[in-house]
Structure 1
């Protein structure tokens, strides 16, 4: 059975079932990653160094934020863990393009904890054996087809994207600003307690556009390229970036490899996503915003995705946002009015239409 058809089946399974409510494999992987970090990062802590608390890979109240980590305050992006664990990754103080979905450890003067080589070793131990297992299982007759579909299903978060964005829209449309703030707080890392309706809509729209790239398109891309081992490699790498990709004293060295590898794996998918958004929206405006605004964004991958997405929708994103008590002035992305509740749904529709376009292209390429 071709990868093209298996791609369709994986997306269909995600649309039908959504993310598993229990026993998600990425939850178990998150626990493994936490143990590895304890072993390889803390083993090099100087006796005099302060013992910082470990980040919780499965934060309560964060829903299913998928992830994926990156440059500081670049957006609200997905992190590699499932929605129960962390499916729409949160953006904060990461190295590359996304950040950890768990609470961000404040910057401190504590000496660097761990060496880059330890982070590389931990990454290899966490990712490579599971990727090889996925490869071997995918080669089995008949069973391999099931493994391929399940691997893609476990990595996707398309339905979860809507399940987290829809409550924000409904709360805004009903005039319940407090509920809207609460709901959007599940999918962004900025402070939401004092956001007005426009700021809530802006945060949710940014999250949908960026998480669409990480939790949906990038997984689909790597599955189309390399099947189950490809999507497993990507999703596990993305998860480690979410957990280790902090730019602070504790993770700056240890998490460097995880963040950089995730940046590399997302480089091509991010630009294909930006092109997809442009083709399905206000094309000329999206391309212009991509060209002129994306380079100003902190993240090399989130910038093109969010700039093109904002241009495609004809709205203005970016601007000021408060993270961990500090107000940050971010560059403007897109052109046009500030987003409203309806624009959150428009962003979701853009992501979903793009997935259909990708599946069509994958099927056509599969026939050739």
Structure 2
């Protein structure tokens, strides 16, 4: 039973996500984000001073992460048996967002399918930071497709990976660091130095999960094109983790992503990723399906690994 506990936890957490989805009220990630906003307003007092801003960012990360991490370590050691399995499943459920990812993606894909561009722009503005009003139909579809692929890595596969590696402390630590990076990891005057610690921690914690996600996309899609995109296009991307995920995902779907995109600060020229097909509502749906199939693949791999370990232990 103990050997099969990680698989049981993953299945239980994904079942809760499928049946309930994200909590609509009192979501701990939202509460953590609100706390992070308050801390940043209090401590990020000298954004134009690199040293002070960097130290303030380091102190803020420690202040926010250390107490919660301590609680998760205590829970992991104090509980045992069925209670620990239940606590792990609840923690993983609160960290993953497979149903939420699909809901946000389809909220964009459906109006694109029916030709309601304004509604699609409004919906995509909820999941990306681009200037939605300036996006064409293809631009909206590309933005949503990119969001599905990247959030599949951050909000699904990375959470599963860190739970399997380090239990509750691992999955909660990753979710906190990823949230801080999403809030503070901007290269602008206010966060250039203050958010650097959170951004680097997120790069470190996301390095292995991002490449496992890219491998998953490649296995389940157009393998030859995905492999080529991973090795030739990913290095051109600014982010060391988003590059492999998005390039390989675009190749797996044979869809063209990246390129110039409008942001509130102006047009950002990004490398072109993927294949020859234009993004559309169908590519958004295909990206959602790719992530969902990837989760099934991971569950199968975890079960197979568990059975092999059980057979080896039993035979010895």
- TM-score, scaled relative to structure 1: 0.79
Matched, 1:129 2:95: no
- Equivalent in the alignment of 1:33: 36
Q: Is the 1:127–1:236 contact (alpha carbons within 8 Å) kept by the matching residues of 2?
A: yes
Between 136-145 and 161-170, report the one with greater CA deviation.
136-145
User: Once the two structures are superposed, what CA deviation does each residue of 1:324-347 show, in whole Å capped at 9, x if it has no partner?
Assistant: 141122111011211211111011
Per-residue deviation, 1:287: 0.4
**Cα distance in 2, alignment partners of residues 168 and 33 from structure 1:** 29
- Equivalent in the alignment of 2:313: none
Map 1:327-342; keep pairs closer than 5 Å: 327-342=267-282
User: Once the two structures are superposed, what CA deviation does each residue of 1:313-332 show, in whole Å capped at 9, x if it has no partner?
Assistant: 01111111011141122111
Q: Say what the alpha-carbon RMSD is for the aligned residues.
A: 1.5
Between 331-340 and 284-293, report the one with greater CA deviation.
331-340
Matched, 1:17 2:20: yes
Q: Is the 2:76–2:84 contact (alpha carbons within 8 Å) kept by the matching residues of 1?
A: yes
- TM-score, scaled relative to structure 2: 0.92
Aligned residue for 1:269, secondary structure, equals helix
Q: Is the 2:134–2:262 contact (alpha carbons within 8 Å) kept by the matching residues of 1?
A: no
* Structure whose CA Rg is larger: 2
Per-residue deviation, 1:32: 2.0
Map 1:122-161; keep pairs closer than 5 Å: 122-139=60-77, 140-141=79-80, 142-161=82-101
Per-residue deviation, 1:35: 2.8
Say how many residue pairs are matched: 303
- Equivalent in the alignment of 2:218: 278
In structure 1, the gaps of 5 or more residues are 50-109
Provide runs of 4+ in structure 1 moved above 6 Å. none
Per-residue deviation, 1:40: 2.8
Q: Is the 1:114–1:251 contact (alpha carbons within 8 Å) kept by the matching residues of 2?
A: no
**Cα distance in 2, alignment partners of residues 195 and 119 from structure 1:** 34
- Equivalent in the alignment of 2:173: 233
Aligned residue for 1:254, secondary structure, equals coil
In structure 2, the gaps of 5 or more residues are 310-316
Greater percentage in helix: 2
**Cα distance in 1, alignment partners of residues 185 and 115 from structure 2:** 37
